[in-house]
Amino acid sequence: MNLTISGHHLELTPAIREYVENKLERIKRHFDNVIDIAVILSVDTLTEKEKRQRAEINLHLRGKDLHVESEAQDMYAAIDLLIDKLDRQVLKHKDKIQDHHHEGIKRHPGPDEAEAEAA
């Protein structure tokens, strides 16, 4: 699994990098077939007082790509929201893959069986 963490208008500190890696352990615990993860952390400055922390992730799975983004006033809160959203999407994808309990085409009784049931 390849993990890429990048920051736009933000200095990536070892604490933030470690926080993201620890949070991604939750995703790896649920689903093991992750090929590539790209995390982008950025700060959008609207005015001097109002800064919006933004986190995005692109998760490349076998047969599917997932993209999630979140925004908050605090980078750690944005990362928490991001991981929660990603966790829900990964579990939904895992359920779709492993859902073998769907109903098949029900067998309709043939003409001979229908007569036997009627009698």
- Predicted pLDDT of residue 101: 61
CA distance 3 to 18: 12
Domain-by-domain residue ranges, the chain? 2-98
Write out pLDDT tens, residues 80-94. 999 999 999 998 988
% of the chain beyond a pLDDT of 70: 82
Global pTM reads 0.76
What residues contact 39, with CB distance under 8 A and at least 6 apart? 3, 4, 5, 6, 20, 55, 56, 57
- Predicted pLDDT of residue 82: 95
Spatial contact of 109 and 117, defined as CB atoms under 8 Å apart = yes
Write out pLDDT tens, residues 37-57. 999 999 987 776 777 899 999
Domain 2-98: which CATH number of 3.30.160.100, 3.40.630.30, 3.40.50.300, 3.40.640.10: 3.30.160.100
Would you say residue 4 has pLDDT above 60?
Answer: yes
